[in-house]
Structure 1
């Protein structure tokens, strides 16, 4: 099953577009970096699982039950994705609906203290990340359990995914935890651009207009929503790969 590639994802492209992360052409560097993440003992474990997978004889089960299980996994993925996407879009709306995560009330004081103005948005992003973890992780485990019951070949794939997740999860979590910290750079950059425009046009600042269409804070919130939605897809990629293998096994 293909692993998540940070460099090839929409998520990384979003980070690059927002100019809050340097994304060099990875070439073989990403594979080398990935290899550096895996401890020698972990590599032995992963190699053993992989060899067992190759040695196993595929005995794919067919029939309506197999197809229903694959369809059920796909439907559950769609449900979790919809819940997470709707939570993000609702919370980022100027008039949010029923959602437990609320967009911070903007500080409308001059001069704006960036040191205190941004942290509420960082906590907002982190709250959505916790929701993603609570939704995506159980889904991935459930899909692996379904694969393990489907066929010997898919059982080995599920074991390989579980082993790889165990090895890389901590590092991936640390990388994703940096995103709301990196967003501060974008927050500050947009505000500085806003100030520069005011200086050029010799206009007085109006905090009430920050969240209106075209305002710098509205721009930031739109970008933050875009990044959150891209992160949802990034986190779902391993599970999507498992489900795709399940579907192919039914053919």
Structure 2
């Protein structure tokens, strides 16, 4: 079994009842569903319309016309690219906030724009890696080619829901920013005036906000890379078990 520790985090270990991203959102004040969620099949059924069901049926019945060839080296390259990309994104996310020019007043918009820029990089990188992995799978053999088609069908069916869900994170960040800087949000006071009222230096609160925003984006990065990790693990299992 291949070691994926270089691309996974402890939050993905078996037995963890809630994903780290959900935990961080809850800590930031985001409302979460009360009680247990419906079973996976029921939740997926709500997302699949008639066209998605037809696409899924076609994916299940998919048969590649290519004879296929060993893509082991290509799979290794994508695996290494995943690790390199993740490390590079973590470095960028860890420097979040440093690119914002300091001003006399603390304004949320520059920090939101910087965060959204990083989020778009995360989305683009995860999408590119997922597409590359599917391409390698389709060229390997029938089993992986069908799995790639199934992943594409699920990806298309869940695209709207996923975008809508991740779009709530910036709203949570804005609420968190306003909670940390209530005087600035309501009266547009300067940081020194707000510090006199709260007894806490605005620089400390800004550092805390940036750290929380970084953690949310790091957790989102792991969520977006999970499909790629799953596909690559299937690839390595297929290559290992192939005669």
Q: Does 1:70 align with 2:75?
A: yes
In structure 2, the residue matched to 1:130 is 120
- How far apart, CA to CA, are the structure 2 residues paired with 1:81 and 1:131? 11
- How far apart, CA to CA, are the structure 1 residues paired with 2:104 and 2:177? 15
Q: Does 1:191 align with 2:178?
A: no
In structure 1, the residue matched to 2:44 is 34
In structure 1, the residue matched to 2:89 is 84
1:224 to 195, 213, 223: 213
How big is each residue's C-alpha offset from its partner over 1:83-126, in whole Å with a ceiling of 9 and x where there is no partner?
2111111234xxx5xxxxx2x345544xx7xxxx2222221221
- How far apart, CA to CA, are the structure 2 residues paired with 1:207 and 1:145? 56
* SS of equivalent residue, structure 2 residue 96: helix
Q: Spell out structure 1 runs of 4+ moving beyond 4 A.
A: 205-208
Uncovered stretches (5+) of structure 1, i.e. residues with no partner: 1-6, 97-101, 195-202
- How far apart, CA to CA, are the structure 2 residues paired with 1:149 and 1:80? 23
Equivalenced residues, count: 213
Higher RCO (Cα < 8 Å, 6 or more apart): 1
Map 1:57-206; keep pairs closer than 5 Å.
Answer: 66-92=71-97, 96=98, 102=99, 104-109=100-105, 117-192=107-182, 204-205=196-197
Uncovered stretches (5+) of structure 2, i.e. residues with no partner: 1-16, 185-194
Q: 1:180 to 1:30 in 2, by over 3 A?
A: farther
Q: Does 1:249 align with 2:238?
A: yes
> Scaled by the length of structure 1, what TM-score is found?
0.74
Instruction: Give, in angstroms, the shift of residue 20 of structure 1.
Output: 1.9
* SS of equivalent residue, structure 1 residue 204: helix
